[in-house]
Amino acid sequence: GVTYLATLDGGTVAVKIATGSAGIDDWKREVRALAQLQHPNIIRCIGVIAATPSFGLVLEYCEGGDLTRRLTKPTPAGFALRVARGVAAGMIHLHHRGVLHRDLKGGNILLDQPSGLCVKITDFGLAAQAPDNTRTGGWLTSEIGTYRWMAPEVCLHEQYSRSADVFSFGCVLFELITHEVPWADRRPLQAAVAFGLDNLRPALPEGLPGCIGQLLQECWLREPPARPTFASIHADLASLPERLTPAEHTW
């Protein structure tokens, strides 16, 4: 679809209009997902446009833009952990409501301000209902998402569920740490091959605090049930400042 800047009742909003039959299908999925979701870290849907031939969403406007673009510039102290905690909190709510995002990446995380005071997960056009784990019931096997952030089981058309979002979160955490997208030196399909077929992971920077590196590696585990839940991730991130040494805080 196409997103426009607009005004509504004197305020600024984003209006996302579906284009083509595929866009209308995504619009339907997004409407279903957003109808279930209400959380400070999930984009707020103000209204729905359903007036043939126009189908769209009226969403809150986030002046800070998307995370991937914001990370092309220097960020303030504490930015990475603040954003990571916000994303994890939003994903707890998402999964609690039985919704799988399926395209979690920096480009689908918005900042209400350039400083990243509050993050908003957006773009639910690929969202789906999903079971608690990949071992029991309600299988999903379609290859959906963006290759650089896609879990191996999704790339390989294996059974997957909510833990696929956890793998993608690991890629977002990698973005926050390095200010680069995963596998920046490879084409998107090559990135999927590295994650899925070769079971490789991007190299982490020297000096990265061990507790952060461990959390990222756990999100990137090949076996989906072995990955942490977002509740566990959020608790881990909340306790990180107390566990970091002064040198690690500086890093």
The catalytic site residues sit at 103
Cα–Cα distance list, 33 to 52, 60, 160, 161, 173 (Å): 21, 16, 19, 16, 24
Which candidate, 60, 57, 47, 48, places its Cα nearest to that of 12?
Answer: 60
Long-range CB contacts (< 8 A, 24+ apart) of 126-130? 126/26, 126/29, 126/101, 126/102, 127/29, 127/30, 127/32, 127/33, 127/99, 127/100, 127/101, 127/102, 128/29, 128/99, 128/100, 128/102, 129/98, 129/99, 129/100, 130/98, 130/99, 130/100, 130/161, 130/162
Q: Which token pair is 166?
A: 């956890």
- C-alpha span between 135 and 42 (Å, rounded): 28
